[in-house]
A = this chain, B = another copy of it.
Amino acid sequence: MSKAIGHTCWAIPEGYIPAYSTGPEPQFLSHETACILNTSDQDAHVEITIYFSDREPIGPYQVTVPARRTKHLRFNDITDPEPIPLDTDYASVFNSDVPIIVQHTRLDSRQAENALLSTIAYPSSNS
């Protein structure tokens, strides 16, 4: 029932965490999310590198997605080696030891009404 589907390298060129929010937390906190799905029977050890427009990339951030689990990772929540600065353009690359699938979603609640965006990330074959 649990075949490994997906790729081991993914990229999300768009990244931006708004500097403020409106509405009850945590559901309406402005957030940028990478939804990761691991359908395999092995834990996925994922390394995330963050790219910027004007400085060297930072990382890797280490995340484990257990076997047969999904993890909806908020970029707001990863802090080691350092938090991602707010109101700053960034991009991200995911490398995993088992195939995973990555989808990018943003909830922007800076105004009274939320806005949403989502896309399947870019799966790379030359990892």
Contact = CB atoms under 8 A, between A and B. Distances in A.
A57 to B, nearest CB: 6
A90 B36 CA distance: 10
**Interface size range of chain A in the complex:** 35 or more
Interface in A57-74: 57, 68-72
Instruction: State the copy count for this chain.
Output: 4
Interface string A101-127: 111111010111111111111111011
B118 A119 contact: yes
A78 interface: no
Contacts of A16: 72
A122 B68 CA distance: 17
24 contacts: A1-B57, A2-B57, A4-B126, A5-B126, A11-B37, A11-B39, A11-B101, A13-B35, A13-B103, A13-B120, A14-B35, A15-B35, A15-B70, A35-B89, A37-B91, A53-B70, A56-B68, A72-B89, A91-B101, A104-B118, A106-B116, A108-B114, A108-B116, A116-B116
Given A112-B113, A115-B115, A116-B116, 5 more contacts: A14-B33, A37-B91, A114-B115, A118-B118, A120-B120
